[in-house]
């Protein structure tokens, strides 16, 4: 058991200890992390984060400039998602964003035993949301292609349904559900649709503009009432930076709580967090301004091309096969003797895992062709 | 409406724009923020945060060193709070910490209509917790000294009571409730007691060792089952860094959800957030190691002494008076024509507010005697 130390150590000694203790961490520059949806943040974002690390958006009256910039970030993300005026926040991550959407749907609904219909491929943040918020999760089946079965979603709608979830980039396989069909369904039944684009939000708009054939997934579709989009995944922002955007103000109002006490004056808070890092918001703003649509498109182009090349390489292997053709920059594959293969790859230092029944490779910006070639060499050896 | 830009701007231009847009923010070095519970983070913490900004504790299998350090931080904080072995996490802030405690109490209880008894002085994070978790908040009256009326707490206990909250450093006045009496009550009725020491956790242990007469508030008291303690307040850590510590593992288990998908292997997550900043944890670890008990005690000594001096100065004024004698490094006072006084002080640039019916000064590490003297000069003028 570590004790709270009586005396302090010199700063250099602390830094050395820290360096030593974190040696066992895999870093994105190690060339070994292939299975994470996070990446090394962009250097500009790190500089901005450190420079403005004192800003607290939990007390926006003190930091009106940072608050204004958050509004601009929400405007820019709304624009990216084809919404003229959106309502939302940069939050701690996709989990908070998804919880806020479910909370808004629950609070607006008058269902006595609220139920949320969501694909079996949904992220486990919805399990947290359901448990915390007392919302029953009604799981919809997937089709053979691992996209949600829209007919099964429809069959599961009841008087207690407070909302439907569609996924734009599933965590396991990067599948984009048929959001247009879900949107039609949502409008037909008058039920709000939430799109979890935590991963896909910073991929699909750019991939579509590159010519990849992907379904619409955003506010262009009238049934979509809220979208989760995470800058700290493919947006290259530092953790923590998730995003939630609502089409209508009423959703944000439905989850707002009055915050007294603050030095800058009282405000309504829709986020779960109270004190929250303004630096995250400034970093996201800086990245969008610095990279622009063209910069992100280039990042996505490389990631998509590499993922397609990798998928073709997997197809050439004996004893390994794709779970399905990739839609985004995520490729998942199965192998013979999967447990043994996983163990052996991990032993060789690869940051992957196979506990979903397949190995998932996420082609994040830090993943280079050299890394993937080395991984394939190891994989071929292990499969022999 | 800001549009998502098509083309990016050079990094220097982005940094200049950001500097320009944040000019209106008050900074802790401005000498004007007197009413915030946040402060300028310690420079070592900023360096550590920036250096390890890529660590994700949502995927601890990738970062076993950082995970181990979080365990050490929880051990050190437990030790500070007189618990040999605690269970908890560094989280996004006091709000998440308080929500996790209420969630654990709710999940462990078999009450059909769960109720939480809490002082009327409790932080608004409990309003969020109650709304989200479907827990009815039963507010206990305060005594004349603004500490909770323990008799009223007892009178409000019912079969539906899932827990009691005591506050060690109320947000408005820095009052430490009679936690020993609440602890006795909690044990007598077999109800868990949560102590919100978000602010006081990094003050009281040091102030007591300096000889300030403050009640016990921590795990030394057997009825205390969980404590919120925020490094990003008086701990001088960067936002986000709250802390939650449970006495028993069963509470953490009661809020744990299985997380598949991760690159480092599956894990149970008790936090609300999924992806979460390892850098926050490393920064807290570095500060505790660097400052030690003696370093924090010195910070608290200065803050307490300055607050006592200020309180005496307020007593000398006509037309202004203390709401109550300060217990911690928070001094709140009322004035004649409070609205006018507030408006005039704000006009002079002071980061304070009076919407609770008084002006609250929090003697954080960035608050110097010079600042306070200048504030008093302005206050005297305004009161004339």
Contact B19, A65 (CB under 8 A): no
Chain B residues in contact with A58 by the CB 8 A cut-off are 93
**Stretch among A143-152, A303-312, B27-36 having the lowest mean pLDDT:** B27-36
Q: How far apart are CA B274 and CA A37, in angstroms?
A: 12
ipTM value for the complex: 0.95
CB contact under 8 A, A25 and B65: yes
Phi, psi for residue B317 in degrees, rounded to 5? -80, 145
Inter-chain CB proximity A77 and B47 less than 8 Å:
no
pLDDT of residue A266: 74
Q: Which residue among B93, B290, B356 sits closest to A274, beta carbon to beta carbon? A: B93
- Tell me whether residues B274 and A95 touch, CB distance under 8 A: yes
Q: A186 to chain B nearest CA, in Å?
A: 24
Residue of chain B minimizing CA distance to A40: B54
pLDDT along chain B (384 residues), means of 10: 97 98 93 93 97 94 95 98 98 98 98 97 97 98 98 98 98 97 98 98 98 98 98 98 98 91 78 96 98 98 98 97 98 96 95 88 97 97 94
* Residues A335 and A352: beta-carbon distance below 8 Å: no
- Is B1 close to A75, i.e. CB distance below 8 A? yes
Nearest CA in chain A to B29: A54
Would you call B22 and A133 a contact, using CB atoms and an 8 Å cutoff? no
How close A206 gets to chain B, by Cα (Å)?
11
Cβ contact (<8 Å) for A27 and B239? no
Best CA proximity match to A277, nearest among A41, A48, A55? A55
The verdict on a CB contact (< 8 Å) between B292 and A24 is no
**Cα separation, B193 vs B181, whole angstroms:** 11
The first and second tokens of residue B318, run together, are 């006509």
Q: Which of A88-92, A236-240, A264-268, B308-312 has the lowest mean pLDDT?
A: A264-268
Helix orientation angle between A94-108 and A125-133, rounded to the nearest 10 degrees: 40
Quote the pLDDT of residue B253. Answer: 96
Pairing of strands A161-167, A193-196: parallel
User: What is the average per-residue pLDDT within A289-308?
Assistant: 98
* Residue of chain A minimizing CA distance to B28: A54
Cα separation, A129 vs A146, whole angstroms: 23
The mean-pLDDT minimum among A75-89, A122-136, A167-181, A256-270 falls in A256-270
If one counts every other C-beta atom within 10 angstroms of the C-beta of residue B180, the result is 17
Per-residue pLDDT tens for A343-367? 999 999 999 888 789 999 999 999 9
User: Which one of B44, B46, B132 has the shortest CB-CB distance to A103?
Assistant: B132
**What are the structural domains of chain B?**
11-42+293-383 (3.90.1150.10), 45-289 (3.40.640.10)
CB contact under 8 A, A54 and B76: no
Place of tokens 């995944």: A233
d(CA A170, CA A331): 11
Q: Is A9 in Cβ contact with B263 (below 8 Å)?
A: no
- Tell me what pLDDT residue A356 has: 85
Q: Residue A54: its chain B contacts at CB < 8 A?
A: 27-28, 38, 40-41
Asked if B131's CB is within 8 angstroms of A6's CB, the reply is no
**Span between the terminal Cα atoms of chain B, in Å:** 45
Find the CB nearest B41 among A53, A68, A240. Answer: A53
Whether the Cβ atoms of residue A352 and residue A35 lie closer than 8 Å to each other: yes
Report the candidate in B259, B355, B88 with the shortest Cα–Cα distance to residue A353: B259
Residues in chain B: 384
What distance in Å separates the CA atoms of residue B191 and residue A212, rounded to the nearest whole number?
Answer: 58
C-beta of residue B148 within 8 angstroms of C-beta of residue B140: yes
CB nearest to B44's CB, from A5, A14, A66:
A14
For residue A127, the chain B residue with the least C-alpha distance is: B257
Q: Where are the alpha helices (DSSP H) in chain B?
A: 11-21, 43-51, 64-80, 94-108, 125-133, 150-155, 179-189, 204-209, 249-254, 278-316, 338-347, 369-383
Integer-rounded Cα radius of gyration of chain B: 22
The overall average pLDDT reported for chain A is 96
pLDDT of residue A155: 98
Number of other CB atoms surrounding residue A196 within 10 Å: 32
The 3-state DSSP class for residue A254 equals helix
pLDDT of A262 above 90: no
Length of chain A: 384
| Measured distance CA(B183)–CA(A31) in Å, rounded | 52
Write down the pLDDT at residue B261.
Answer: 64
Tokens read off for A82: 């084809």
């Amino acid at each position: 058991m570590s004790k709270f130390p009586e005396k302090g150590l010199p700063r250099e000694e602390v830094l050395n200890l820290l360096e030593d203790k974190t040696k066992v961490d895999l870093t994105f520059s190690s060339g070994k992390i292939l299975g994470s949806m996070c990446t090394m943040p962009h250097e500009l974002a790190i500089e901005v984060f450190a420079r403005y690390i004192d800003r607290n958006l939990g007390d926006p009256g003190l930091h009106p400039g940072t608050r204004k910039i958050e509004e601009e970030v929400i405007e820019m993300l709304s624009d990216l998602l084809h919404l003229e005026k959106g309502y939302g926040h940069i939050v701690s991550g996709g989990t908070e964003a998804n919880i806020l959407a479910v909370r808004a749907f629950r609070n607006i609904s008058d269902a006595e035993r609220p139920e949320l219909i969501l694909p079996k491929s949904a992220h486990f943040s919805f399990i947290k949301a359901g448990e915390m918020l007392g919302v029953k999760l009604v799981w919809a089946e997937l089709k053979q292609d691992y996209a949600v079965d829209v007919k099964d979603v429809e069959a599961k709608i009841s008087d207690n349904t407070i909302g439907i979830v569609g996924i734009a980039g599933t965590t396991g396989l990067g599948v984009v559900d048929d959001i247009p069909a879900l949107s039609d369904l949502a409008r037909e039944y008058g039920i709000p649709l939430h799109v979890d684009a935590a991963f896909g939000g910073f991929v699909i708009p750019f991939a579509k503009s590159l010519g990849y054939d992907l379904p619409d997934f955003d506010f262009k579709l009238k049934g979509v009432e809220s979208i989760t989009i995470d800058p700290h995944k493919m947006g290259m922002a530092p953790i923590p930076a998730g995003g939630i955007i609502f089409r209508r103000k009423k959703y944000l109002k439905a989850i707002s709580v009055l915050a007294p006490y603050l030095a800058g004056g009282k405000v309504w808070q829709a986020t779960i967090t109270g004190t929250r890092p303004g630096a995250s918001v400034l970093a996201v703003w800086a990245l969008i301004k610095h990279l622009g649509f063209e910069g992100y498109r280039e990042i996505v182009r490389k990631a998509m091309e590499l993922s397609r090349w990798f998928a073709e390489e997997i197809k050439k292997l004996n004893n390994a096969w794709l779970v399905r053709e990739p839609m985004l920059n995520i490729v998942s594959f199965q192998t013979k003797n999967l447990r043994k293969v996983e163990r052996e790859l991990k032993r060789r230092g690869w940051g992957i895992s196979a506990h979903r029944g397949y190995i998932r490779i996420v082609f994040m910006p830090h993943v280079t062709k050299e890394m993937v070639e080395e991984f394939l060499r190891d994989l071929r050896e292990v499969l022999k």
